[in-house]
Structure 1
Amino acid sequence: MSLWIAITLMTGAAILAVLWPLRVRRGASAEPAGNEVASEPALADLAVYRDQLAEIERDRASGLIGAAEGEAARTEVARRILRASAEAEGAVGAGGNADRRRRVAAVAGLVGIPLIAGSLYIALGSPGYGPQPLAARLEARPEQSDIAILIRKVESHLEANPQDGRGYEIIAPIYARIGRLDDAARAWSNAIRLLGSTPQRQTGLGEALIAQAGGVVTTDAKAAFAAALAADPKDPKARYFLGLAAEQDGQPQQAAAIWSQLAADTPADAPWLGLVQQALARVGAPVPAPAAGPSAAEVAAAGDLSPEQRQQMVRGMVDRLSARLAQNGDDLDGWLRLMRAWTVLGEADKAKAAVSDARTHFARDDGALGRIDALARELGLGS
């Protein structure tokens, strides 16, 4: 009902806006006020011209002017009277036409505006629908894919349930994706406070803080990545950003050490490997070869193999690692993996050969030799 009242009032206002300029001023005669104004100069001229005719007759009778002069003056005044009379009649006619146009416009505004507006609403609107507030629409259409409505739904839920940490964890990455960085950082902090610290939540918080600071690894972001790394020392995201923090702190050597180790531990098909290699090039560090390991397709295929086929697949990967190290032996972790792999496969002679080759390659690196000898003793390959 309130909707129709509002529509009626708006329609009345529109009609009034159209009719107001067309109104006839109160106290005017049947002739519109504009017509009277238009004809008044012509009527005044007629009165003046009649007085001039009378004066000419008086001068002629008294002998002040001759007959010829008097006739010429009468002719001129008569011509002016005719012209003034024509102007007066034209003004009255024009006023009548204007009056008719105003009346037509008034009727059109009074009838046409409501008729057109009503027709458009019936054709394009939904007069049969009741009120549909946002909350009711969300309940009626939970599958709604509009991201703004989904966010609003989660926010409404969190307003009613501020201790729901899972809700904060769900909405935090969405906030980050749409650029609401302050809200993203706040949501990650609430998720950590309510659900506890995990590498994923800490790295999410750290990334939001970095984006908030325009790419700078702030103290709070660094603390978040350190917490993630403490829970998972192999977390690639935490390792990368801690390296970036070292670079921004003016410690390129420390950044290179972090990124070199990360690159060495990264599979060749890892999506972040290119980013790590770019970072190493930026600080002028050599880019080590990535760790050899099965691809995602190989891992998936291994599940369908028999034990013998799986053993053969593993041996093939070890052979590829051995061939790669023969071409580029700078990967210490690769040598250590090769030593362990040959031992697991029962190839003691090949494991010992890997120990010998690794020692030869790192003969001048006491630290590397220490790690090689320690693993050799652990695997029973000699000291």
Structure 2
Amino acid sequence: MEPVQLLGPDGTLRADPRWPLEVTPELCRDFFRRMSLARRFDDEALALQRQGELGLWLQSLGQEAAQVGSITALRADDHVFPSYREHAAALCRGITSAELLVQWRGNAHSGWDPAEYRFHIYTLVLAAQLPHATGYAMGVQRDGADEIVTVYFGDGSTSQGEANESFNWAAAAEVPLLFFCQNNHWAISTPTQTQMRAPLHQRALGFGLDAHLVDGNDVLAVHAVTSAVAEQIRAGGGPALIEAVTYRMAGHSTSDDPGRYRNSSELDDWSTRDPIARLEALMVDRGYIDDAFRDEVAGECAALAEETRRVCRELPIADIAGLFTSVLAEETPLLAEERRQYEALVASYVD
């Protein structure tokens, strides 16, 4: 299966009658703005982690098209289950920079209400969100609701048993679920060709899922394919999987050094396929972008960066004293002693 591509790396647009999409100046400008904001937020969060303001950060650099193109193809009431680097998708759903940073600063498990945004909290346990999404989709099915469920995950997650169980269960029960894999070629330090012998979209067909392959750095193709597949699921067509072929430009996380396991030539090659640059090339060619629009987006990015720095440093210091009293029904002597030691430690700090 060849990946669906509407927008080439050089910005050349080619129509595909299987995946119709009306490419307008408004659509391109919207995608450009959303991807640019996501990248600037991601850059700022990385800088905050390097300054010691965040405990950890997992970048979405290079994967903006896969996320923006897909999340904007869903309805606002479609429930989404993310993994842990879906920052662009989260921003598109209206989640604020402060809400996104709370978890990574260590203040709470999550900073937002999943019901409010129809966007579940980040899942750091690999592939755990897949059975969660499958179960939620079974509930949607039984309620007869006119919505679908979408779950984001990486190629590394598909080596987990939970992923394969979810594929099978979703197909057997015919639930309204869209599996969206961002195949970024690396499961931490393990390349895709090492971790699997058959492409994911082929494996999905074996489970009975409708499967599609798309260029994950082409925001237009991702949007067109996701729009069509989502409506097919909504109409009762059963679950489906979209494999978006993209690339993780940064390390797995800020604690990872990708230079130890991949060479610079691979990174250079994928840099020529940058999702924002290829969309901008199309917009320049068609006259959809000018200096005034660039300045406008740059100003929005600068404002988001400033807000991200401010809200991060304004987040209160987390009080973890509840760990000693809320885990067990009755506090044990050992826990009581540990709590007293913790309280004495905190009291000893100089403001």
Higher share of residues assigned helix: 1
Tell me the TM-score range normalised by the shorter chain: under 0.3
Higher share of residues assigned strand: 2
Q: Could you state the TM-score of these two structures normalised by the residue count of structure 2?
A: 0.21
Higher relative contact order (CA 8 A, sep 6+): 2
Larger Rg belongs to? 1
